[in-house]
Structure 1
Amino acid sequence: MTTNLYLIRHGEAVTAIQGLIGDGELSQLGVMQAEHLRDRLAATHEIEADVLIASTLRRARQTAEIISPALDLPLLLDEEIQEIRPGGPDGISVEEYRKTFGWVDFRQTPLTQPAPDGENWGQFQLRVGTALERIIRTYEDKTIVLVCHGGVIDGSFIYFHQLSSLAVPVAGFRTRNTSITHWQKRGPDRRWRLVRYNDALHLHDIGTPERIPWDKIRPIPASDEDRPVDPVPTEEHQ
């Protein structure tokens, strides 16, 4: 049996381009990004999902609402896959937030609370790991789509690779809006493996005269079907 977990980052949010902290809607570009992802998924059927879950924050929920027709699934909401919670008033500017609460560098002090009702790095990673554990156990041997946030996708690497959640990793990620990250558990060893990260090919035709012909593209490379990848020596007997 196989469990597939697809993590999709939301489209560009208005708060990101306005320099605000809080729960914002998608920008005009963010809507277009989600529509291009929807069209890709509808044409390729590369994700045959059993469940679609979104963060309750507006930018993620709106993204999920746009792509849901391509997956033909009802949308479930889960507040535990929200982005890190900064605390403070919603919609406050970054400048005003810093003046009011200061600015915590999680790389230096990961366990410092940034503002009242905010989360430190350790609390955020505990929440993300707990949510992922609950979701993959609930939907074991199914295909799960989570529409979430960059920090949650970062946290998936910490969770699956069992890295320390008490310190920010030295190397980070730049997860693109509406990109696809795919984790899979299959085979006799039942280990989680990263299949792809930051797949945002559907964004490459935004602003171009031609659209990518998704209906003429295979959902997975032909070589993956004809010659499945064998475990490398370091993975054998593990």
Structure 2
Amino acid sequence: MTRRPIPHAEPDPPSPTARAARPGAALRALEERLGHRFRDPALLARALTHGSRGEGEDNQRLEFLGDRVLGLVIAEALLEADPEAPEGLIAPRLNALVRRETCAAIAREIGLGEGLKLGRSEMLSGGRRKEALLADAMEAVVAALYLDGGLPVARAAVLRLWGPRIASAPRDARDAKTALQEWAQARGLPPPAYALLDREGPDHAPLFAIEARLATGETARATGSTKRAAEHEAAAALLQRLQP
């Protein structure tokens, strides 16, 4: 009697969930830059998912958590680096290191924009280069690191990525807007006012023109990629004019 060969069972195809959790080359490259191999790659994928995607969970909740984790790690590092510094000097340094512009700059350095999962509208409007999206995703990635490996993993990644900026943070890191306001208050003047003069450029690369004004009539103008950046530049220009 001829025996028929027993057919080999074909493995079941991976489920959509398993396929989503399986990291691709882009995520693996990002893991290398972060210095951490995720036990749950879906966490990293979610950290890169913008709300415009419109499917499943986005990175908003992770962004909320990552902002707090980042602040804790940076605050610890600043206190350790300068044990004698008063809170009044530490706080401005912290603000400078965790603000949107810094988070976006770190995101660009590690190529985070390449891995962002965006909806069609954001893709067409240059979302991978938008400062707000990059900053939010960077904070979400910090949260993903924390959830996947705990505070030691998140701390190690943050200190590696932010380390040069922490080391070079000026002792007096008050921003120009704060310094200009203090200058005005010391002379009994109301706070400076900031007026938007112009906005040009595409949505993903806008340029804002801002004028800083004092009640005494002194003004200075500057441009920046965000309103806040332009305000800081205008304040710095006005301070330079007031304090030759």
The structure that has the greater radius of gyration is: 2
Q: Which has the higher helix share?
A: 2
TM exceeding 0.5: no
Instruction: Tell me which of the two structures has the higher relative contact order, counting C-alpha pairs closer than 8 angstroms and 6 or more residues apart.
Output: 1
